[in-house]
Amino acid sequence: MATYKQIFGKQVKFLSADPPSSVGEGQVWYNSTSNTFKTATLSAAAWASGGALTTAREGGGGFGIQTAAVYVGGETPPVTDATEEYDGSSWTAGGAMNTTRYRVGTAGTLTAGLIFGGYTGGGAPGINNSTESYNGTAWTISPATLNTARMSLAGAGTSTSALAFGGTNLLPPTYYMDATESFNGTAWTTVNNLNTNRQGLAGAGASNTAALAFGGYTASPPTVSTNATESWDGTNWTSVNNMNTARYLLSGDGIQTAAIAAGGIVGPGTMQSAAETWDGTDWSAAPSLATARGVLAAAGTSTVAVAFGGAVPAVSALTEEYSSAPVTIKTITTS
C-alpha cells in the first residue's frame, strides 16, 4: 500500500501548533497540543458574471469596491463623460464628468473618488492635467492640477492621499514616463520617479505612502510590454519580483502587499485573460477572466474584486466578479 509521502511527496509532520495558512495544499500534520490530525483545505477562487454596463466602452477609470464601484469616462467611441455605479449586481447612471476623457488615473471610493489626467482626443493638445473629485452624486473640478499632464497613467490611494505615476504625453522624449506625483487633498507634489519608464500600467495602494506599480509598455512600435513591478514606500520606488505575464492596459486593484492584476494586452491585438495575485513578495497565478480583454478597469481588493468594460477587441459591457476564500485548517475526524 502506498504511503502518504509516496502519494503527496510530503511527510505527516508532528507539530505543537498549527502552521500558517500558507501551508501547502492538502498537507496533513499531527497537532500534539490538541492530539488531533489536521489538514489545510484548498482555497476557492473564481470569476463570475456580473451585471453588464449600460454603455459598452474601453479605457475608462475604475475605483471603489466590488459592491460599490465606479466606472467613469472611456471611449465608445467617441470619448464619453459618463459615470456608472455598480451595487454588486447592476449598473446605474451617476453624475457626468466635467471634462470628457479616457485613460485616466483614479483613486478612492464611490463617495470619495478622484480622477486625474487622461486624454480628450486630438493628439498631444488633448493630454489633460485636471483633477476632479466625486461624492457619489456629482463631480467637482479641483483647483489642484497634475504638474505633468499625461494619459495612460496609474493611480492609487484615496481622494485625500493619492499617487499618480507613469503615463505618456504623446511627445518625445517623454513618450514613456517615470514621473510620480503625490496628492494630499489640496495639491500635487512631484516626488521620486519610477525605475522603469512606462505607460498603460496598473497600480494598487491604500495611500500616497504605500503603493504598487506593475505592467505597462516601454516602447512602440513594436509595442514592448513589461512585467516589471515596483513598490513605493512614500519616498522611493523599489524594483521587486516581476509578474508572471508581461502585459499592458491591464486592470489592477488592492494594496501594496495584496494586489490583483487581470486582463490586459500582451501584444498588438492579443488580449489577455490571465489574472495574478500579489502577496507582498511574489505574484501567483489566479483563475483567468472568462473573456480575454484589454483596456479594462476594475475595483476592489485582491480577494473581492470586479472587472468591467474593455476591448475584446470590440468595446465591451462585460462585468466579472472575483472572489477568493482563504485556505482553512480543519481537524480530521473519523466516523
Percentage helix, strand, coil for the chain under 3-state DSSP, each rounded to 5? 0, 45, 50
Task: Indicate the Cα dihedral angle 165, 170, 174, 179, nearest 10°.
Answer: -10
CATH number, domain containing residue 77: 2.120.10.80
> pLDDT tens across 61-112, in order?
999 999 999 999 999 999 999 999 999 999 999 999 999 999 999 999 999 9
Residue type, 12: V
Task: Let me know if residue 281 belongs to a domain.
Answer: yes
Question: Terminus-to-terminus CA distance in the chain, angstroms?
Answer: 22
Same domain, 37 and 55: no
> pLDDT tens across 276-335, in order?
999 999 999 999 999 999 999 999 999 999 999 999 999 999 999 999 976 566 667 655
> pLDDT tens across 241-290, in order?
999 999 999 999 999 999 999 999 999 889 999 999 999 999 999 999 99
> pLDDT tens across 117-144, in order?
999 999 999 999 999 999 999 999 999 9
pLDDT for residue 17: 78
Give, as one character, the DSSP assignment of residue 61: E
Residues pairing with 258 in the sheet: 255
Arithmetic mean of pLDDT, 3-31? 62
Same domain, 38 and 49: no
Task: Let me know if residue 330 belongs to a domain.
Answer: no
Confidence band for 4, pLDDT divided at 50, 70 and 90: very low
Same domain, 90 and 237: yes
| pTM summary value | 0.86
pLDDT for residue 10: 54
Residues 6 or more apart whose CB falls under 8 angstroms from that of 2 comprise none
Tell me the residue range of the domain where 30 lies. 4-42
From the number of C-beta atoms within 10 Å of its C-beta (0-12, 13-18, 19+), residue 269 rates as: exposed
Closest CA to 163 of 236, 103, 251: 236
Which whole-number Å values give the CA distances from 273 to 202, 247, 262, in the listed order? 15, 11, 7
pLDDT for residue 89: 97
Same domain, 137 and 160: yes
Question: Structurally, how many domains does the chain consist of?
Answer: 2
The H or E element containing residue 330 is: strand 328-331
Distance CA 198, CA 211 (A): 16
Distance CA 40, CA 104 (A): 42
What value does the mean pLDDT of the chain take? 92
C-alpha cell at 242: 516581476
Arithmetic mean of pLDDT, 9-31? 65
pLDDT for residue 124: 94
